[in-house]
Chains A and B, each alone.
Chain A
Amino acid sequence: MDNKEKKVLLEVKNLRVEFGKRKKKFVAVKDVSFQIYKGETFGLVGESGSGKTTIGRAIIRLVEPTAGEIIFDGKKINGKIDKELDKEITRRIQMIFQDPMASLNERAKVDYIVSEGLYNLKNYKDEEERKAKVVKAIQDVGLLPEFLSRFPHEFSGGQRQRIGVARAIVMEPELIIADEPISALDVSIRAQVLNLMSELQKKKGLTYLFIAHDLSVVRYISDRVAVIYKGRIVELAETEKLYQNPLHPYTKALFSAIPIPDPRLERSKKLMVYDPSCHYDYDVDPPKWVEIEPEHYILANERELEEYRRMLKENGVEPIN
Chain B
Amino acid sequence: MEDKKVILSVQDLVIKFRLRGDVLTAIRGASLDLYEGESLAIVGESGSGKSVLTKSFVGLLDANGWIDSGSIMFEGQDLAKFRKEKQWLKIRGKKIAMVFQDPMTALNPLKPIGKQIQEAIELHQGIKGDKAKEKTLKIIQDVGIDDPEKRYRQYPHEFSGGMRQRIVIAIAIACNPKILICDEPTTALDVTIQAQILELLKNLKKQYNLTTIYITHDLGVVANVADRIAVMYAGDIIEIGLCEEVFYNPQHPYTWALLSSLPQLGVKGKELFTIKGTPPNLYHEIKGDAFAPRNPKALKIDFVKRPPYFQVSPTHKAKTWLLDPRAPKVEPPESVKNLRQKLEVGNNG
Judging by beta carbons under 8 Å apart, are B217 and A260 in contact? Answer: no
Which residues from 265 to 312 on chain A have a C-beta closer than 8 Å to any C-beta of chain B?
265-267, 269, 271, 273-274
Bound state CA distance, A271 and B244, in angstroms?
Answer: 21
Judging by beta carbons under 8 Å apart, are B274 and A266 in contact? Answer: no
Chain A-chain B contacts (Cβ-Cβ < 8 Å), number: 124
Q: Which of A76-84, A132-140, A188-196, A203-211 contacts B (4 or more CB under 8 A)?
A: A188-196
Provide the residues of chain A in CB contact with B222, threshold 8 Å.
Answer: 261
Judging by beta carbons under 8 Å apart, are B224 and A267 in contact? Answer: yes
Judging by beta carbons under 8 Å apart, are B272 and A156 in contact? Answer: no
Q: Which of B57-65, B81-89, B258-266, B320-328 contacts A (4 or more CB under 8 A)?
A: B258-266
The answer to the question of B344 belonging to the interface, with a C-beta cut-off of 8 Å to chain A, is: yes
Bound state CA distance, A245 and B261, in angstroms?
Answer: 26
Provide the residues of chain B in CB contact with A215, threshold 8 Å.
Answer: 191
Bound state CA distance, A219 and B191, in angstroms?
Answer: 15
Provide the residues of chain B in CB contact with A191, threshold 8 Å.
Answer: 261, 263, 272-274
Given A253-B192, A260-B223, A261-B223, 11 further pairs, Cβ under 8 A: A47-B192, A216-B264, A219-B264, A220-B263, A243-B349, A259-B218, A260-B347, A261-B222, A264-B244, A265-B223, A274-B192
Provide the residues of chain B in CB contact with A315, threshold 8 Å.
Answer: 349
Judging by beta carbons under 8 Å apart, are A220 and B268 in contact? Answer: yes
Judging by beta carbons under 8 Å apart, are A263 and B244 in contact? Answer: yes
The answer to the question of A28 belonging to the interface, with a C-beta cut-off of 8 Å to chain B, is: no
How far, in Å, is A157 (CB) from chain B's closest CB? Answer: 8
The answer to the question of B56 belonging to the interface, with a C-beta cut-off of 8 Å to chain A, is: no
Judging by beta carbons under 8 Å apart, are B247 and A194 in contact? Answer: no
The answer to the question of A258 belonging to the interface, with a C-beta cut-off of 8 Å to chain B, is: yes
The answer to the question of A149 belonging to the interface, with a C-beta cut-off of 8 Å to chain B, is: no
The answer to the question of A257 belonging to the interface, with a C-beta cut-off of 8 Å to chain B, is: yes
Which residues from 193 to 242 on chain B have a C-beta closer than 8 Å to any C-beta of chain A?
193-195, 199, 217-224, 226
Q: Using an 8 Å CB-CB cutoff, how does the interface string of B239-252 with A read, 1 for contact, 0 for none? A: 00001100100000
- Give how many B residues have a beta carbon under 8 Å from the other chain's beta carbons: 45
Provide the residues of chain A in CB contact with B226, threshold 8 Å.
Answer: 263
Can you list 10 A-B pairs with a CB-CB distance of less than 8 A?
A: A48-B190, A188-B261, A198-B271, A257-B195, A259-B195, A260-B343, A261-B222, A264-B340, A271-B199, A274-B192
How far, in Å, is B226 (CB) from chain A's closest CB? Answer: 8
Residue of A nearest to B198 (CB): A259
How far, in Å, is A237 (CB) from chain B's closest CB? Answer: 13
* With contact pairs A156-B278, A188-B275, A220-B272 given, residues A265 and B195 touching in the complex (Cβ less than 8 Å): no
Bound state CA distance, A254 and B195, in angstroms?
Answer: 10
The answer to the question of A213 belonging to the interface, with a C-beta cut-off of 8 Å to chain B, is: yes
Residue of B nearest to A315 (CB): B349
A194, A239, A243, A265: which contacts B263 (Cβ < 8 A)?
Answer: A194
* With contact pairs A188-B274, A265-B344 given, residues A257 and B194 touching in the complex (Cβ less than 8 Å): yes
Bound state CA distance, A192 and B277, in angstroms?
Answer: 11
Bound state CA distance, A199 and B247, in angstroms?
Answer: 30
The answer to the question of A67 belonging to the interface, with a C-beta cut-off of 8 Å to chain B, is: no
